[in-house]
Amino acid sequence: MSRPARALGALLAALLAAVALLGLTTGSAAAASSPVDVVAHRGSSGAAPENTLAAVQLAIRHRADVVENDIQRTRDGELVIMHDTTLTRTTDVEQVFPDRAPWTVGSFTLAEIKQLDAGSWFAPEFARERVPTLAEWVAAVGNQAGMLLEPKAPELYPGIEVDLDKELRALPEFNRAVRAGRVVVQSFNHAWLRTYKSLAPDVPVGLLYGVRPTPVEIVAASTWAQQVNPALGAIDEATVHAVHAHGMEIHVWTVNGGADMRRAVNWGVDGVITNYPQVLRDILRRS
């Protein structure tokens, strides 16, 4: 064989090897990817006390793609992870501070809230679990999962959009997550969310709905939001298609039954928010 022929043969062999490697890599990535994001609602809240670091850590062990939380503001301006506007359901605040009714989050300082047990109400093994700050929560998620952040009742906390943006920008884990496309801020208060979006145009936002969004609302959302996130029971498959037709994602909540998970997946939603990410992960694996 002549030298030019040998060179051409070597080049062809190299090209074939590269194509084969590309095919193998692409196939492996496709096999590892999920048709839908597994979103752990307040962490793995079906198996650990909601919105605690224990729930975050368990969600990561359950291989959640995204961890969702709820954010409130303390009396001294600190951002903490708590769903309810009062501390009574998920802490022992009534025992620790019996004379502070109605025990709203905004009437306590961070130091006071850090005295509370946020785990015993769920199970004895979670005794002394604490209410995390936003910074602690972000550090716990880190680069192990995406972040779905929901300031709860922001209208109760004037200026919380400024506080939220300032605190998040100071956290390296958050900035890395934004660059990687692993952060969304969502809210039922759409006017507030639009104000936040004006401060943080690089952060994707999602509009929460407890009822079916109308066609007009979907069109309007598409001009500034990246997600429309309704309750699964409020919508049908046509809603999913309408949201997609306007270039947005749709993540449905809160889906805890296997049949409902399969229905959402079959409709082609982009994410399922659930208290049981391990169950959804198993369903996706089997299908």
Structure tokens given for 156: 């109760």
Query: Does residue 83 carry a catalytic annotation?
Result: yes
What CA–CA distances, in Å, run from 172 to 140, 151, 230, 262? 12, 20, 31, 36
* Strands annotated E in 159-252: 183-187, 205-209, 227-230, 249-252
**Which pLDDT belongs to residue 4?**
37
Per-residue pLDDT in tens (0 to 9) along the chain, 287 residues: 443 333 334 333 333 333 333 332 223 233 345 689 999 999 999 999 999 999 999 999 999 999 999 999 999 999 999 999 999 999 999 999 999 999 999 999 999 999 999 999 999 999 999 999 999 999 999 999 999 999 999 999 999 999 999 999 999 999 999 999 999 999 999 999 999 999 999 999 999 999 999 999 999 999 999 999 999 999 999 999 999 999 999 999 999 999 999 999 999 999 999 999 999 999 999 98
Catalytic hit among 62, 83, 241, 246: 83
CB 205 within 8 A of CB 151: no
Decide if 251 is catalytic: no
pLDDT of res. 287: 84
DSSP designation for 234? G
Residue 254 to residue 275: CA distance in whole angstroms: 7
Which pLDDT belongs to residue 34? 66
**Which one from 41, 62, 244, 246 is the annotated catalytic residue?**
41
What is the three-class DSSP state of 272?
A: strand
Helix/strand/coil for 109 = coil
CB neighbour list of residue 92: distance below 8 Å, 6 or more residues apart: 116, 117, 120, 121
- Tell me how far CA of residue 83 lies from CA of 8, 68, 230, in angstroms: 66, 11, 18
Residue 187: exposure state from Cβ atoms within 10 A (0-12, 13-18, ≥19): buried
Instruction: Read off the pTM.
Output: 0.88
Confidence at residue 35, expressed as pLDDT on a 0 to 100 scale: 85
Contact by Cβ (8 Å): 275, 256: yes
Strand, coil or helix: 67: strand
Question: What are the boundaries of each domain within the chain?
Answer: 1-33, 36-286
Task: Kindly report the CATH number that applies to the domain delimited by 36-286.
Answer: 3.20.20.190
pLDDT in tens, 126-160: 999 999 999 999 999 999 999 999 999 999 999 99
